[in-house]
Chain A
Amino acid sequence: MSLTIGNTKFEITDQSLENRNYRELFADPRVGGVVTFEGRVRNHNEDKDVTSLEYEVYPELALTEGKKIVEEALAKFDINNAYCVHREGHLQIGDMAVWVMASSEHRENAFLACQYIIDEVKARVPIWKKEHYVGQEPIWVRCDKCASHRHHGEH
């Protein structure tokens, strides 16, 4: 599958991220370094056995915030191009959840930009994940710990 690039810098998809052809993103002959990051679903989190992950997205805001982050990376670092795509839907262990690419003439800026994009996407883009476990109720990651329980303290 080829990618529509144009002005797209950030994409949300419910389709698998495997076997996509990204080469046109860094086809510029001035590019000497391409750094990519793949985030994949792992089988454990904080001592719990994870069986699958469900990603939910607030699409309108996720697209504008994600695009903003990639544009920030393009402005901050001396890079040639950058791109990020994130999955939504129910993913299984080993599935790719997010893919980030930064390309530059020399590798250092591409590494920095790639790291910047994934860090900011994780912190700012309205995407949530529900972890499913063996023998336990699923939870929304990062929400359970800040929930106050009404019956806390009652015995």
Chain B
Amino acid sequence: MKTINMSYFAFFRDLAKKSSEVVSTQAGTPKELYQELKLKYDFNLCPSKLKVAINDEFKTFDTVLTDGDKVVFIPPVAGG
């Protein structure tokens, strides 16, 4: 098991009803982690529309997660 520091923003924060939490998981990648959170919080955005940040940098969904990583799933952005 590894410990992941999750932060939630916007659409995901509303669904999770929290802005951060520490998650214990066996997920090896953000792709697997998203599937777990999808079940837990009913996250219903198609993964192809999402981006992911690990430790405040954009990464791919198959990046290997390390114990203590900060992970943020990024729904479609809408600045401006």
A binds B: yes
Chain A interface (Cβ within 8 Å of chain B)?
39, 55-58, 60-61, 64-65, 86, 97-98, 118, 121-130, 140-143, 146-150
A121 to B7, CA, bound (A): 22
Q: Which of B62-77 contact A (CB under 8 A)?
A: 72, 74-77
> 7 shortest A-B CB distances, which residue pairs?
A127-B79, A128-B10, A122-B80, A142-B76, A60-B56, A141-B78, A143-B11
A13 to B74, CA, bound (A): 20
Q: Mark B27-49, 1 if CB is under 8 A from A, else 0.
A: 00000000000000010111001
Enumerate 10 A-B pairs (CB-CB under 8 Å) in ascending A order: A56-B9, A58-B9, A61-B74, A121-B80, A122-B79, A126-B9, A126-B77, A127-B80, A140-B10, A143-B10
A122 to B53, CA, bound (A): 18
List A contacts of B76 (CB < 8 A). Answer: 142-143, 146
Closest Cβ–Cβ distance, residue B52 to chain A (whole Å): 11
- Interface: B21 (CB within 8 A): no
Closest Cβ–Cβ distance, residue A74 to chain B (whole Å): 20
Contact B80 A140 (CB under 8 A): no
Number of contact residues on B: which range applies? 20 to 34
A-B contacts besides A122-B80, A128-B77, A140-B78, 5 pairs, CB < 8 Å: A56-B10, A61-B58, A64-B57, A125-B79, A148-B46
List A contacts of B9 (CB < 8 A). Answer: 56-58, 126, 128
A134 to B76, CA, bound (A): 24
**Contacts A123-B77, A127-B78, A128-B11 hold; do A149 and B72 have CB atoms under 8 A apart?**
no
